[in-house]
Every structure is written in C-alpha cells, then in structure tokens.
Structure 1
C-alpha cells in the first residue's frame, strides 16, 4: 500500500492497486469514498477479469525517487501485463494513472480497459450524490455541494473513452461496476443517491505489442473547478503532469539524496522512500496524518515525525506545523488528544476533570521540544522568531503551570522527562530572545521536575522508558539508564530478532527496535545498531517505503528509521 498526496488531495492504493482511500480537501480528512474502492478491469478474448479477483500477480514500488507508484499486474492465462504509473499532481488536485497494456500473445487482440470509481461525498453518511455523463466535456462527473470530481480516460492516439455508465450501489445494489463484466456498458447518463460510475476504452494490440491510455480524476470545491481541471488535463495531456510531478519530487528530495549517498547502498532506497512517506502525510495547512485508520493527527507523533526533516534541512513542513499549533493554542488554550488535519478537534471519551479540559501534557511537551530543535536549526532560526511568543512562550508557560497534573493516560515519568528537556531548551531559547524572566521561570520548573524524578525508576520496563531515559535524561542518570536498557533487552526481546515496546505486546515493534538502535549508536555500539536496522529493512519495510508497524503510527516508524540512519551517518564521521 502507498499514500500519494499533494497536501490537499490524497489517494491510498491498497494491496491490489485499487484506490481504497480518496480524501479531499485535506489529507485523511473527508474520505470521499468511505467503505468503497475504485477498481480496474480488463476484457479480452470474451473473458473479463478485475485486478483483485486473485488471478493477477502484482508488484508495487516507488522506482523513480518520486511519489509515483509503479505497479505491474500480470495475468498469465490471459497473456496480459498492465503497468500503471499512479500519482497525485504536485501542483493541481488531479490523480492520474498512466497505463501501459502489453500483449504477451503472438496474435493481434482487442482489449477493453475499464476504470471504475465510487463516491460517498462529504463523508457525512448521506447517500444523495449526483453522477452524470457530461458530453460536452467528455467526462463523468460526481458532485454534491462544494465537492465535485470529474473523471476522464484517453488513449495515447487521442481517443476519449468509448464506453461509460453511471449507477448506484448499496441497499442491495452492487454498483455500476457489475455492468462491465460482459465487456459492454449500458450508457446510463444520470443517477442520484450513492453513486458510482465506469468508463472504458478499446485498444487494438498487435502480436507481442503494447499501447497506452491515461486516466485522471480531477477534484474541486465546485463543478466549475473540477471540470476546468479535467478539461485542462485532457487538453495538455497527463504525461506532462507526470513529468512535472516527478521533477517536483526530485527537487524536494535533494537534501535526502545528499544524505543517502553517505549510507550503505542497501539502505538508500528505503531511506528515500521513507522521506516520501513522511511528506505524503503532511497536510497543506500544517498538521500531519499520523493515524491513517482514524484519519487524525496526534501532535506528539506529528512533532517527532518532523524531527528528521528538520535535521535534513527541510523548513517548510516544520514552519507550517508550528503555525497550525499556534492557531490551535490561540483558539483552545491547550492541545486536545487528537485533531483532524483541518485543525478540528477529534471527539474524545476523556472527560473534564474539575476545571481541566481533556488534554495530554505529552503533546504540549513534544511541540515545545521539537520547536526548540527547529529554532536552533539552520532552517528554523529566522522562521521561528515570529513564533517564539505565540508558540514557545505560551506552551512553555502552560507546561510550567500544569506539569504536575498529568492526564490519566499520560505516562507520568515519560512526560516529566520530556517536559524537563523541553523546558531546559526553552529556557536557553528565552535567553536568546532577551526574555530573562521566562528563562528563569522555565529553568526553575525543569529543576522542580528533576527533583520529582530523583530516585524514581521507570514505572514499568518499556522501550518508551528506555527512549525517554537516554533522549531526555541528564548525565547523572546515565547509570540508571544503562541498567534500564539491560533489563529491557532481556524482557522485551522478540522471536524475530527485534524488540517489543511492552512486555505484554504480541509482536515486535519497529519503533521500539529503532529506539534501542539509537541508544546503541549513542553509546558507540554500532554493530548492534546495524543488526537491528538491517533486520528492519529486510523484513518490515515494503518496496513502497511503507513500514509494517503494529504498535505505533507507520509515519512515526518511517521518521525513526530516517532518524536512526542519520545518527549512523553522524557516528561514522
């Protein structure tokens, strides 16, 4: 699976290469095809096959150093290969598929390709969308309110789709996609309700030859916008859009390419693909989709996902994130447990406690800690100045006032260690901003937290405790950290050679294992760290860059993989 996105339009391809998630106009927010997928089907020699019917062999990867998924589908018995280059345009809200159809037989054949799409617009549970064929634009159009999607299909010799229909699904109806299974489409021009549609084109393939067609889906907040994007794509051609998008990602990856050259060859592609995974989850308004299944952003995870980007010299993503944090804190006065990527708080079952709203201190501490990393970085020194008062000062004061009252679901020791480190760095930042009163106040609070932590061991031996001890601990706690690591490696080892996050977890954790690798790098045990990183690359990272993680966000896992490799580069200098 892979997420393709441009900050506004996001497309997730599943293990069959189908569109399993389409969100717009925010990454992960407003899933416009909730509980439905977009299919690809082929009719040849009087037989029909969908790519998810179990008869196709599939391989998906990101081969170009760009957020472009290259998927190869092969059907041995039908003697066909489909090659798809799928992408979301970096500049406009268009999803494109450049499809190459290859005839493996030694005779000329007629092939019909069918592209299906289904929508539940606005993601509000209502089944009142409209779908229709727009002859003048040579498009299929789905729309309701301020959401509209226009779909087109064209052969490389300039022929538009020659078959189409629209229909309904749900309430006992499978959908219009069933109409394609005889190789023909009914040509229904209009439907209202829970709608889907199919368009098809015919290709004549000579013996052992191939042909191409392009498919696109244009998204807009009005019919005019969606049809305008569709007509421009149809006129200019999808190939130019693909070239522009590939060039955009090559340029964005420049700092990553430079760092990758310093890595062992086996890790370079996974490193680059992990960076692409991180960037794909960033919404243009600054928040990061850290929980794809729930469609939300947890600020603690998002802040730490930004750290490797800051280390590599990417400034835009961090600046947008902290601007989003400023807007949230200015509106609410605290950070809620989770947000949608448009900045709206996610509903929570956490109740108010007296006058305390539902919040987790770890989010405030993480935002402050990573802001300080940004403010002291090459790319953030100037950009962070205007956010010092509205983000750093307000969040640090909030932590100072609330650190001794963690939420029930906060790991108190972890939060206190992170808060102490964040406040110590904020105190240094305050001195740079000629803010001596806050510098003293925040340093005093950090000392108070140290007093609270003195003599207190970890509440439980977890890899989170290990991470907090070595990342946010102080020199006087080094011996306790060493003892904790020794106990953790004994009790958290998993059968696959990696490590669990907690003792009662059923599986190993990529994030937990990478945290341990980072500790080994810091203590000079590079060989042990390299063994862990090699195992993760070999067993838990797909060719698309997606990390198979069970106990944390895959976005966080990608970030920690990049962080660990950056630590290795520094250690080997």
Structure 2
C-alpha cells in the first residue's frame, strides 16, 4: 500500500497509509531507523457495545493535507456507528515531537459514550527483541524503549489525560497483540511488558446529541527518559494546539518565502501549481538534517524486495538537489554536498547507495564477476553530484562553500572520471547503468560524465587552475566525441542504450534497446535539443515507449521487467514512470518554437498530476491498465522531476512570449 501522507522535520519522518494507520516512524534520521517497520499504529472506536478499527471497510476515508503545509487534514466516517473523526497529524518544526489532533463527532441524535483507542506497535531499532513498554504514573504516560531510544506516548481530552491503557505481548506465544484488548471497549491496565510488545491507550468520551470532543495525542522521542519527559513538559506548557498551529504556519512560511514563485506564469492551472507546491513540501520531508536525501519511505516494498528505498542514491540526490536549487532552495542542499564529500572513496568515486547516517548501503553490484575484478559503481552517481554542484554555484554564488567542496569533492571526483575511461573508445569505462540492472558503457552514463567534467572544468577555472580546467574540459570533449562516434547508430537513427562487452569475442557490442534514459544526450548538453540526432532519438522513444492504454506515459525501456504486468510489449513496453514521461516533456519544452507548441509539455505535466494520489503524492511508476501506484509512493525523484519540469516550462513560456511580443512590435 502506498504512503499518501508523509510528514517530518529532518530528524523524524512519519508516514500513513490509505487507512489512516501510521506505518513508518523514522528517527533519528529521515529513513533510518524505522521503529514501526511497516507495523500498524491503529485507531479504533467503541460505542454502544460495538467496536471498529478505522482501517475496516465500514469507514469512509478522505485523506489530504492542509493547504501548503505538512499537516494532514483527514476525515473518517462510519455510518453504522454514526461517528466521524477529523484528524490532523504533524511533526513539530524543530523538536522531536509527533502531534495528533482528533475531533470525535457524535452523529446520532442522542447522548452516548464513545471510546477512542490508539495503538502503538513499535519495533524499536527495527527489531522487536528486547523492547519494553511501561506505564509512567508520575506523568500519566506510556513509554516504549530499548537502549538509547525512548518513545513517550501521551494524550488528553477536555476531561484530562487518557482514561485507559494496556501493555502486552505481540506476535509471540499465541498473542496477536494488545490491540485486541481494545475490541471489548475495556483495556486491562497491565502496566509493563517486555520482549515483543505493543500498547494501547483509550479515552472515554461522553458526547451530547450531535456533539464533539477534541483529543490531543503526542509522541516524544529521545535518547533517555529525562529527555522525553522534558519534551512532554514542553508540550504541556506550550499546549499541543499551539504547537500544531506553529508547525502549520512554518509550512506556509517555507513556501511563502519561495524566491522563485513570482517566476511562475499565469498559464498554469491551479492543479499544476498546487502539485508544484506540494512536491516541494514532500521533497523537504525527504531531506535529512545531516544531508541525506532518501528515495522513498514506503516500507511496503519490503514484501517484494526484502529491502527498501530508504537510502541516499547519489544520482537521485543530485537530481533532487538540482530541483531545489532551481526552485530557489539551494541553501537547503549544502549538507547533501557535504554528505557526498564525506562519502567519497579515496579513489574519487561514490558507491552504489548510502544509509542516512553516512554508512554504505546494501548493494547487489559485485567486486568480482566471471573472475574479473571490477568497481561496483554506477559512474553517473559521481558525475551528477559534480553537475549539481556547479548548478548550485551558478544560482547561489556561495563561493566559500563551493571552494570547500572543490578541494574535498570536485578535484578527486573529476580526477577519477578522467582516469576511468576506455582509451580505445574515448568513453567512460564499464559500470552499472542508472537502472542498476546491467554493466556496460551507456549513453546516459557517458552524458553525465561529460556534464560532470564540464562542471569540474568551470570550477577549476573559477578557482584559478586553468591547466586543470583545460584537462577536465579536454576529457569531456573526448567523451563527447566518443558518444557521437560509438553510441549513435546512423542506420537505426537513434542513440543506443549502450555497449555491452562480450567476454567470448572480447569486443563491445551495441545494445539497441530503446531506453528513455538516452534523453541524457540533450539533458546534459552533449547535443542541443534541435540536433536531428536528438530529434530522431526522442521520436523513437515516444513511438516505442509510450504505453498504449488509457493510462499512457513513458516506460523506462522496451521490455522492462520490474513489476511487469503483461507480456504484451507492443501495447505495454513497460510500466509508465513519472520521471521518464517528464524527460519527454523537457524535450518538448526545449524544441518548442512558440507558446502554442508548449502544449505538448503541459499535457504531460497534467498527466503527472492526474496520476498522483489524491493527496498529491507521486509514485515511482503506475499500473499500465489501472493507473494505480506500483513499487513505492512517494518517490522523491518523481517530485523533483516535476518541480524541474514546471520551472523549465515557466522559463520557456516567458522566453517565447517575450519573443512573440518583440516580433509583434517589430512588424506592427
């Protein structure tokens, strides 16, 4: 199930599924550690002898955010129970505090008791072994803990703090979980449990006909009992109402000081603009305070992958940083560049992916294959950080920061790129492709290395090293020549996906698979978008990879097997991806010769909005027949591609409109 709601503050990240159940709780890094690990923190209602969890089908649910904030705005309605819940969730803008407001509405024309239950199903540090949960009578709270992770759970209504509680064992010795204890409306009051544990708190509300009551609930997170008690005291003194208001205000302030908003154009529909602003907020939630930008928090991918997307891929991070830079939030990316400089190996390359704490992430790229030693890297990941850093300097002119990066990252990375080449082909040596599936020499990778070395050359010149600048630029030009000589197929009239080394023949052989990533040729400036070779290539991409169902969209490449839904490749060459569809939109933007010709790109932007979740969250890919999200949702890269493309659309619109006005003035 996707995560239509994501909230966070750079240290805590919390997600909810479509049933309003909390599914992921990350701390102390965005993406690490997940103390729910996909478990469910439940919400349930008892009244007049009947009980129902909000996740059950009898509840109608509407999920959204408060406009221009990372505060949720949800409603759950149960006609059988005659109960409605209005729910807001937030993570405090600064402190390690999760906040929740629930307005319980009695929809019956009679006075009655309604009991509200909230369950906590933590697996602290991603493992339920050795957890403890206990009732703290000094503060009337529950506390889950293990080692240096403490989660204090508190809540109050107008009558005072929660009325009931229970702790117990889950998933062990025949016990499903303490949440079952809530289903008769009465909790046991068991004050402590150890091992694999969960807990529930309950509120007994007495509501008049058509009356309502507001519940506030909060979770304070820290390293010890003193720290979480201090945070709890802070909530009580400031009041949860006030803290929710401040968090809501902060979200709007984040967008209101948006330095590029005035550059957006009147041609945009409210839907396109709202998706842009929502994308910026979703991206912000993916940025860890220490610099990592994770791909996605959706832990349900564990069911099919036995791994997750809670890593920094330097490639994804570079694209996301680029979108923030272009949107005017460049200073937010500085710690990302620091992170990459710290992660750089002594040889000058970045590894496959990283945990948010800076350690190396899991990988399936071997150091030895068929008896041959190789680097387990995707070379574009190193190159793209160089490219993004130069874009940062151009926008921010932050000379001192970039000088630090020049010595820590730029020179060692650029020296590696210069040396890691196939001298016969004048192309980057073999590495894994951006889809992480095959090893070879790829058009996309070569294009990013070209752009990375061009950026390094510009930075070397900026810092007074002209000979080094010339070396980097010469290496970039040789790679460009290699791309045009070896990766463009004049007979097929499009750029190859790449070259694959045949161990038997000892030669590189062309891989002619039509792949959307060949858009890198124009995205990174190897050729201008109006070049006929680019035009033929993108025409081939559009013709071959457009999904020929009512869903539409561009697939990654012909025959994509990742989450494949059909073998009818003529109709569905692969599932449609947001980022691949937006690469086509960016091509349309760059070749448009009039404001009217921008329509093709705008239609693809509108396609992305239509295929987002109702909350505005964008997935990685879509089911080709239903349009439902596949793989993970949200995917930060999808949101960043949307932000970048909309910015490009507005810039191109203004440029073409100005050209038309000048033409009209010249000729009357």
TM-score tier by shorter-chain length is: over 0.9
Q: Give the paired residue count.
A: 570
Query: Residues 420 and 446 of structure 1 are in contact (CA less than 8 Å); yes or no, is this contact kept in structure 2?
Result: yes
Does 2:276 correspond to 1:271? Answer: yes
State the TM-score, normalized to the length of structure 1.
0.95
State whether residues 89 and 95 of structure 1, in contact with CA within 8 Å, keep that contact through their aligned partners in structure 2. yes
- Measured in 2, the distance between the counterparts of 1:140 and 1:105 equals 32
Cα deviation for residue 165 of structure 1 reads 0.7
CA distance in 1, matches of 2:346, 2:416: 14
Moved more, 543-552 or 498-507: 543-552
> Is 1:510 aligned with 2:554?
no
SS in 1 for 2:279: helix
Whole-angstrom distance in 2 between the partners of 1:405 and 1:135 = 64
Aligned to 1:358: 376
- Change in 2 beyond 3 A, CA 1:226/1:70: same
Moved more, 256-265 or 323-332: 256-265
**CA offset at residue 451 of structure 1?**
2.4
Query: 2:84 corresponds to which residue?
Result: 81
The CA distance in 1 between the partners of 2:197 and 2:347, in whole Å, is: 39
Q: 360-369 or 405-414: which moved more?
A: 405-414
Residue 446 of structure 1: aligned partner: 476
Tell me the distance in 1 between the aligned counterparts of 2:326 and 2:35.
35
Residue-by-residue CA offset, 1:282-337 (whole Å, 9 max, x unaligned)? 11110111143412111101110111210121133210100111111167853110
Name the CA shift for 1:261/1:57 in 2 (closer, same or farther; >3 Å): farther
Query: In the alignment, which of 510, 513, 527 is matched to residue 474 of structure 1?
Result: 527
Q: Secondary structure at the match of 1:137?
A: coil
**205-214 vs 263-272, which deviates more?**
263-272
Q: State the match for 1:484 in structure 2.
A: 537
> d(CA) in 1 for partners of 2:353 and 2:347?
13
Structure 1 residues 267-416: aligned runs within 5 Å: 267-292=272-297, 293=299, 294=308, 295-329=310-344, 333-353=348-368, 356-378=374-396, 380-403=398-421, 404-408=428-432, 409=438, 412-416=442-446
Question: Does residue 9 of structure 1 match 2:12?
Answer: yes
Aligned to 2:608: 536
> What does the per-residue CA deviation read over 1:245-296, in whole Å, with 9 as the maximum and x for residues that have no partner?
1122112112165456753222121111111111101111101111434121
Matches within 5 A, 1:220-231: 220-231=222-233
Distance 1:283 1:476 in 2: 35
* In structure 2, distance between residues paired with 1:206 and 1:265: 41
* Compared CA separation, residues 180 and 287, structure 1 to 2 (3 A): same
1:464 has 2:532 as partner: no
C-alpha distance 189-64 of structure 1, shift in aligned 2 (>3 A): same
User: Structure 2 CA distance, aligned partners of 1:502 and 1:417?
Assistant: 18
What is the CA deviation profile of residues 350-369 of structure 1, one whole-angstrom value per residue up to 9, with x for unaligned ones? Answer: 22246654222111011111
Q: How does 1:187-206 map to 2 (within 5 A)?
A: 187-206=189-208
- In structure 2, what is the equivalent of residue 248 of structure 1? 250
Q: Report the alpha carbon displacement of residue 477 of structure 1 after superposing the two structures with TM.
A: 8.4
Q: Distance in 2 between matches of 1:375 and 1:146?
A: 40
Secondary structure of the structure 2 residue equivalent to 1:249: helix
**1:54 Cα deviation (Å)?**
1.3
- CA distance in structure 2 between the aligned counterparts of 1:476 and 1:57, rounded to whole angstroms: 49
TM-score (norm 2): 0.82
Task: Please report how far the alpha carbon of residue 167 of structure 1 lies from its aligned counterpart in structure 2 after TM superposition.
Answer: 0.8
Structure 2: gaps (5+ residues): 300-307, 422-427, 433-437, 489-495, 498-512, 561-573, 623-630, 655-668
Q: Deviations over 1:459-488 (max 9, x none)?
A: 332111124344432249811110001111
Alpha-carbon contact 1:261-1:268 (below 8 Å) kept: no
Contact 2:555 2:581 in 1 (8 A): yes
Q: Is the 8 A contact 2:48 2:113 kept in 1?
A: yes
Say yes or no: does 1:132 pair with 2:134: yes
Q: Is the 8 A contact 1:42 1:112 kept in 2?
A: yes
Give a deviation string over 1:120-172, Cα, whole Å, max 9, x none: 1112x3511111000101110011111010000101x2500010011110123
Equivalence for 1:42: 45
**In structure 2, do the counterparts of structure 1 residues 465 and 531 end up closer, same or farther at CA, with 3 Å as the change threshold?**
same
Number of the residue aligned with 1:562: 643
Change (3 A) 1:343 1:7: same
Note the 1:133-152 alignment, pairs <5 A: 133-152=135-154
Check conservation: 2:5, 2:617, Cα contact below 8 A: yes
Deviation at 1:63, TM superposition (A): 2.3
Query: Which deviates further from its counterpart, 105-114 or 499-508?
Result: 499-508
- Do the aligned partners of 1:40 and 1:113 also contact (CA within 8 Å) in 2? yes
Structure-2 change in CA distance of 1:396 and 1:113 (3 Å): same
Contact 1:257-1:272 within 8 A present in 2 as well = no
> Could you say what the CA RMSD is over the residues aligned between the two structures, in angstroms?
1.9
Residue in 1 that maps onto 2:424: none
Q: 1:332 to 1:393 in 2, by over 3 A?
A: closer
Structure 1 72/393 Cα, relative in aligned 2: closer, same or farther at 3 Å?
Answer: same
- 1:428 match: 458
After TM superposition, give the deviation of residue 86 of structure 1 in Å: 0.4
Matches of 1:499 and 1:416 in 2, distance apart?
Answer: 22
Q: 1:407 to 1:446 in 2, by over 3 A?
A: same
